[in-house]
Amino acid sequence: MEIHEVVKVLGIFILGLSVGSFLNVVIYRIPRDMSIVYPPSTCPSCKSRIKWLDNIPIISYLLLRGRCRYCGSHIGMRYQLVELITGISAVLTYTKFGFGLDFLFYFYFVGSMIALTFIDIEFKIIPDQINFGGLFVGLVFSVVKSIKEVSFEPVISAIVGSLVGAGFLFFIAYLYLKIRGIEGLGMGDVKLLTFIGSYTGWFGSLFTIFFGSLVGAVVGVVLIKLMKKDYYYEIPFGPFLALAGLIYLFFGEYIEKFYFGGTG
Ligand SMILES: [Zn+2]
């Protein structure tokens, strides 16, 4: 790697850390119905306003040893984890898609998946702001691609992807409710598929459902064995859908080739 490439990757990593810092605000505030722009960051414990100098990802954590400057209470490791994951994801997104307009759209998807994963694990919901915000951005992205490629194909693919994924999951949820009389799937998961499908198209959205269910089922069985109780219904589905969607975003062409065959 040449030196300017190293500097570029480092810059993108730092950009990712800052986005991760913002995602922490999203993860904390959206499920609590708080504004994500106002007020500026405060300590979750004593509500003191955090100075921008104390808000630098990772570095402030090391300097303050994970404590609030004012009240000394511990700031959870989750904040650092989210920042680090987002920083690494930014570099991976750059490696795959390069740096340009596409990067912004793809990184929006990646960042949303990270945020909703942490929200769904803690609150068992996927906020509409993330699902419908993502669907909107996904559709805008498809329009941009259509203009670039002078073809309706990307827009059609995005619309069909949203409808097929969400429609299929809605149908499963409906069957589940009819047959077992319990709500096994949340509408948040169905709405999430409109977002993911707008990026991945119909095949990617179906892959997301099947692969997400498969991994979710394996993890569910393992957790039941470990916990020795009926843990299954407490496991949110969103993180598995997010993981599967991300895998498709990064490896979709290989998955399609594997599935449909073909040469070259
Ligand atoms: Zn504090």
Cα-to-centroid distance, 45 and ligand 1 (Å): 5
Average pLDDT of the residues in 253-264: 80
Q: Do 90 and 4 reside in the same domain of the chain?
A: yes
Q: Give me the pLDDT at residue 194, please.
A: 97
The last residue of one of the domains, among 35, 67, 99, is: 99
Q: Do 165 and 234 reside in the same domain of the chain?
A: yes
d(CA 245, CA 169): 14
Cα-to-centroid distance, 68 and ligand 1 (Å): 5
Write the pLDDT tens digit of every residue in 67-88: 888 888 887 788 889 999 999 9
Cα-to-centroid distance, 117 and ligand 1 (Å): 26
d(CA 130, CA 115): 8
Write the pLDDT tens digit of every residue in 222-251: 887 887 666 555 788 999 999 999 999 999
Q: Give me the pLDDT at residue 225, please.
A: 81
* SS3 (DSSP) at 42: strand
Domain of residue 30: give its range. Answer: 1-99
Average pLDDT of the residues in 137-158: 97
More confident residue, 179 or 96: 96
Q: Do 110 and 148 reside in the same domain of the chain?
A: yes
Cα-to-centroid distance, 23 and ligand 1 (Å): 20
CA 16 from centre of chain: 14
Cα-to-centroid distance, 67 and ligand 1 (Å): 8
Of the candidates 238, 138, 239, 154, the one whose C-alpha atom is nearest the C-alpha of residue 195 is: 138
Cα-to-centroid distance, 54 and ligand 1 (Å): 12
Q: Do 116 and 228 reside in the same domain of the chain?
A: yes
Q: Do 123 and 254 reside in the same domain of the chain?
A: yes
More confident residue, 183 or 12: 12
Write the pLDDT tens digit of every residue in 52-63: 777 777 777 788
Q: Do 64 and 186 reside in the same domain of the chain?
A: no
Tokens of 223: 């957790």
* Angle at the Cα of 26 from the Cα atoms of 21 and 27, rounded to 5 degrees: 95
Q: Do 72 and 139 reside in the same domain of the chain?
A: no
Q: Do 19 and 3 reside in the same domain of the chain?
A: yes
Q: How many separate domains does the chain show? A: 2
The last residue of one of the domains, among 76, 99, 122, is: 99
**Taking the model in full, what pTM does it have?**
0.91
d(CA 154, CA 62): 45
Type of residue found at 142: S
d(CA 6, CA 135): 34
The last residue of one of the domains, among 78, 99, 120, is: 99
Q: Do 132 and 228 reside in the same domain of the chain?
A: yes
Q: Do 21 and 108 reside in the same domain of the chain?
A: no
Cβ atoms of residues 209 and 193 within 8 Å: yes
d(CA 182, CA 178): 8
Cβ atoms of residues 19 and 86 within 8 Å: yes
Q: Do 119 and 95 reside in the same domain of the chain?
A: no
d(CA 6, CA 214): 38
Q: Do 66 and 7 reside in the same domain of the chain?
A: yes
What are the helix (H) ranges across 44-150?
59-64, 77-97, 101-123, 128-149
Cβ atoms of residues 99 and 8 within 8 Å: yes
More confident residue, 6 or 65: 6
List the end-to-end C-alpha distance of the chain, in Å, as a whole number.
28
Q: Give me the pLDDT at residue 3, please.
A: 85
Cα-to-centroid distance, 65 and ligand 1 (Å): 13
Write the pLDDT tens digit of every residue in 97-133: 999 999 999 999 999 999 999 999 999 999 999 999 9
